[in-house]
Structure 1
Amino acid sequence: MAAQFKERLDAHAVARIGAAITAVAPDFAAPKFSAAVVPGLAERELIARVEHIADGIAAHLLRPFPDAAAVLVAALGAPVPTEAPDVSLDDGPLRGFLVWPLTRFIARYGADHFDAAFGALREMTRRFTGEFAVRGFIEREPERAYALLGVWADDPDPHIRRLVSEGSRPRLPWGQRLRGAIADPSAGLALIERLKDDPSLYVRRSVANHL
């Protein structure tokens, strides 16, 4: 499955990401970004492609992290529908799989900017998912992260509530393990207790996966 998914992050995807960023940050050199990133795609598998594109963004979006995060949020398209979150999004606005490298940029370069990082991930998860990107923040600053996830558990947007469940899973396929949560799952289980009867099936399915 990863082999199939990796083809969504191809040269066309890189060009679309570059164009979307340039549309809100004209100084971002999309042709140079593509020229630097595309030659390294073929040899990489899915997760490595995500990281490679994220590093390419960092090399060409030359701004302090909070400003860079704001640019990436501004480049996003409309949120995806919760009733069909996996709909093919190969054309149109910047959302779906194309947002994954953006979330990786946030995770990789936002470690010292908790508020700006979580603010960006809140918007990105409405277009793809931030479940992989939040995990490093939970590991580094668990009290702060769980407190914010507790607020998000009451968010009116089911994308955000689902992120609370998926992001706090101790073990997540393709995701970083939450060693603290594996040792003591109580904080995550407290969140799940609040979400187990969520009105959205989209969220309840995530809760079932968590458990």
Structure 2
Amino acid sequence: MGATYRALCKHGYASLRMQDIADESTKSKATLHYHYGGKHDLLLAFLDYLFERFEARIADPAGDGPTDRLVALIGTLLTPRDENTHQEFQTAILEIKAQGPYDDDYRERLVKFDRLLEERLRSLVADGVERGAFREDVDPEDVADFFVTAINGAQTRHVSVGHPIERTRRHLESYVDAHLLRGGSGARAAPE
């Protein structure tokens, strides 16, 4: 999976060949073909591997209460990482996402990512409503749907046109303050 990651970063999705992945690993191209029928099968396994890592990454955001945990999760998803490798990898993932409308196998895996993130966000917002940190009239499903759309859009916009991802993070944090918290705008101390 590490070799697939490195090869995707170097070559992108469209130009990626099994030989490129073999070149990044200690395995031969024939060995890769023995375990995976081809590039498509290997990339499906890679998406499954990424899903497991993503699941662990968003499972338990840090924080003392629902608000801190929600803001921490937003920060995890919308904080720039090492721009060199991460940008190349995000570009390759965007290319894979673009295959979703045409490839049911990719689409199935991409839907799993989407549903997991939406459920995690919904759960955090519902916890905030239940504990009285968020307003009673907040609909956790609507908020989660909005956040997933904003996060996915921010990541795509960052990769395709270089828009600063941290701006969307700040906007979502402001949304939490203004629209979710009991007491409205300014109820939570501004993040540093």
Could you state the TM-score of these two structures normalised by the residue count of structure 2?
0.32
Higher-Rg member (1/2): 2
Could you state the TM-score of these two structures normalised by the residue count of structure 1?
0.30
Structure having greater relative contact order (Cα 8 Å, sep ≥ 6): 2
